[in-house]
Structure 1
Amino acid sequence: MQIKVAIVEDQRDLREMLGILINGSPGFACIGTFADAEEALLKISDTSPDVVLVDIHLPGKSGIQLIAQLTLQMPNTKFMVCSSLEDDENIFNALKAGANGYIIKSSAPVKILDAIQDVYNGGAPMSSQIARKVVAHFNPRSQDHAEFNKLSPREKEILAYLAKGYRYKEIAGFLFISVETVRKHIQNIYEKLQVGSRTDALNKIGGKSILF
């Protein structure tokens, strides 16, 4: 039994290359290729694919919009993003839209075939760099570091003194700056972390351990 694959990709060379790869591999068959979302919406359901490879950056509707629509029309079909985009917004929007996997276009051919097989079997294949972003998103410690890294080196230094219980005047003396400058830095820290107190700031970054 062959896995029937459809491709939605606006770059002609890549679209043809993927089709040749799939048709030339035992157990796979490319049953349709489409250059944009509009064409796919009109024709893809007639091909009854098991797996659809979808690029995100398409002319007209995006691949994310396409996935959101097709998952309603084709609930038994698996959708896998095949894109060069690696930013958090596109990754999570694609997954929220219904994508079952997400691989990078530059992946080796064998990786693409393995991912198609995996998603067909019920898996959620992702290129390693995509998987790391997904894991980090749900890892509280990673989120703590993300909040902490919003701060400048000087702000981190001042927050460390605050965590130790020092007053503004003492911090100003340690750093050879004015009390007013310390106050402005602390105000910036609170604004960046969207908090209103020293305690809340430390809680937002995951506690004192991240500072020392």
Structure 2
Amino acid sequence: MKRKIKIMLVEDNPEYRDVIDFAIEHEEEMELINQFGLAERALQSFQSMETRTEPDIILLDLNLPGISGLEALPHLIKAAPNSSIIILTQSDQEADVLRAIAEGARGYLLKSATVQQIKDGIRTVAQGGSTLDSKVARFMMDTLKNKLPNLNAENLLSDRELETLLLMGEGLARKEIAQKLKISVYTVDTHIRHIYDKFNVPNSAAAVHCAHRLGLFHRDN
């Protein structure tokens, strides 16, 4: 039996918690292992080694009472280093988007997204990718445009790094990229790390948006 994706939900709205709970309950490969209305309670759950269960995915709201999601984000990453965090919020403010990505969030989705979009985002991140709501993608693109106005990515990237980036743009996870290129996952990780460093971006979503801006996905290879 395929291992389920373990999910933690940090959300103060009980009605929205019920929506997510209901959606995940009907997915065979997902399991909502715990949910909290406060970031403080979520952080406390990692302190006891006896009851500690580290999720694969943490769905984190930003507008929480007490410690906000943005304030809690680096602490959650430190407390659960093997967990990937997806921001799930109403805020489409540029500052929130950029700070969340910079702090290490692997995804940023708005609550206006459909349940199916949220579940697809969970699957993508669980497989090693990133997810970004289309409504906030323009913030990332504008930021990258200002930071990389004259970058010739084809000259900057090696052939293998460019191949890896193109496959990332197709939505492939790292293991799938490794199979496609007939290389190890470790080598794929190295290529992706080099891409991040050369593009000066924090994750695959930002790298793919940068490649789109540069027109790499619309050229003959």
**Smaller-chain TM-score bracket:** 0.5 to 0.7
- Report the RMSD for the aligned CA atoms in angstroms: 1.7
Counterpart selection for 1:80 from 65, 86, 108: 86
In 2: Cα distance, 1:73 partner to 1:39 partner: 13
Which protein, 1 or 2, shows the higher relative CO under an 8 Å CA cutoff with sep ≥ 6? 2
- 1:35 match: 37
- 2:219 match: none
* Alpha carbons of structure 1 residues 22 and 140: separation in structure 2 relative to 1, 3 Å: same
Percent identity over the alignment is 29
Decide whether the 8 Å contact of 1:5 with 1:51 is kept in 2.
yes
In 2: Cα distance, 1:117 partner to 1:23 partner: 15
Q: For residues 128-172 of structure 1, what are the alpha-carbon distances to aligned partners after superposition, in whole Å with 9 as ceiling and x for unaligned?
A: 0112211111113999xxxxxxxxxxxxxxxxxxxxxxxxxxxxx
Find out whether 1:22 has 2:29 as its counterpart. no
Could you tell me which runs of 5 or more consecutive residues in structure 1 were left unpaired when the two chains were aligned. Answer: 144-212
Find out whether 1:122 has 2:124 as its counterpart. no
Could you tell me which runs of 5 or more consecutive residues in structure 2 were left unpaired when the two chains were aligned. Answer: 150-221
Counterpart secondary structure, 2:139? helix
In 2: Cα distance, 1:31 partner to 1:104 partner: 22
Counterpart secondary structure, 1:99? coil
In 1: Cα distance, 2:81 partner to 2:148 partner: 34
Decide whether the 8 Å contact of 2:46 with 2:79 is kept in 1.
no
Larger radius of gyration: 1
Q: For residues 157-188 of structure 1, what are the alpha-carbon distances to aligned partners after superposition, in whole Å with 9 as ceiling and x for unaligned?
A: xxxxxxxxxxxxxxxxxxxxxxxxxxxxxxxx
More helix by share: 1
Aligned AA for 2:115?
A: P
Aligned AA for 1:17?
A: V
Q: For residues 72-123 of structure 1, what are the alpha-carbon distances to aligned partners after superposition, in whole Å with 9 as ceiling and x for unaligned?
A: 1211110000001001111111112221100011111110000000111111
Counterpart selection for 2:58 from 38, 43, 52: 52
Counterpart selection for 1:62 from 53, 68, 74: 68
TM-score normalised by structure 2 residue count? 0.62
Aligned AA for 1:111?
A: Q
Decide whether the 8 Å contact of 1:32 with 1:44 is kept in 2.
no
Range 132-141 or range 6-15, more displaced: 132-141
Runs of 4+ in structure 1 off by over 6 angstroms are: none
